[in-house]
Amino acid sequence: MLNNANRTNRIVFAFVTAGLAFLIAFTVIILINTKALVDKVYYRTILNDAKGLSAKPPIYFKGLEIGRISDFSLNEETNDIEVDFYVFIDYQPKIIQHAVLSGNQNVFLNNATEFELLMPNKLAGYRYDPLFAGSMVPYIDSDVGRMFVKKALSLS
């Protein structure tokens, strides 16, 4: 009888240990896939509306996810939407002067907006300095964003 209890205890211990090992393994896989452990650099922008921001949409550069919207709020004085976003540290050099954010509403998923970082063409002899963490990256529909796009088109 005592031998049977020891065997049962070992089987229960093996199942509990295997369950914990699977839980830890899946947690690590999720953390790696969501890039939760990767260093991030935060920036901000201003939008006219918050449509599609509730899902904390990703920010892409040439099809690669380089960051994500992290927070947004309504500025009571200007009625603009102030948006905080981060870029993974590996892509921080892509955030340069005259870069703008563009947003596309997904037709099939009405709540989702995808953002893309648009960079000016690097012209020979013209140097764009990187922006510091916390800097403002203009949205393409803002006055500054339109000015940057117009300037980029006139230089090309």
Helix %, strand %, coil % for the chain, to 5?
35, 30, 35
Same domain, 91 and 139: yes
Same domain, 100 and 133: yes
Find, among 79, 60, 83, 61, the residue nearest to 70 by Cα.
83
4-16 b/e (C-beta count within 10 Å ≥ 16 → b): eeeeeeeeeeeee
State the pLDDT at residue 45: 93
Same domain, 65 and 139: yes
- Cα–Cα dist 83/53, whole Å: 9
Read off the pTM. 0.75
Q: What is the pLDDT of residues 49-77, one digit of tens each?
A: 888 787 788 899 998 999 999 999 999 99
Average pLDDT, the chain: 84
Same domain, 10 and 55: no
Q: What is the pLDDT of residues 16-46, one digit of tens each?
A: 999 999 999 998 888 887 777 788 999 999 9
Confidence of residue 89 (pLDDT cuts 50, 70, 90): very high
When computed from its CA atoms, the radius of gyration of the chain, rounded to whole angstroms, is 23
Same domain, 88 and 114: yes
Same domain, 11 and 59: no
Find, among 123, 58, 136, 46, the residue nearest to 95 by Cα.
136
Same domain, 70 and 110: yes
3-state secondary structure of 113: strand
Mode of pairing for the β-strands spanning 64-74 and 58-61: antiparallel
Instruction: Name the domain count of the chain.
Output: 2
Torsion (CA) 87, 88, 93, 99 in degrees, nearest 10: -20
3-state secondary structure of 117: strand
Q: Tell me the residue range of the domain where 22 lies.
A: 1-37
Same domain, 46 and 17: no
- Cα–Cα dist 99/130, whole Å: 10
Same domain, 129 and 112: yes
Same domain, 136 and 94: yes
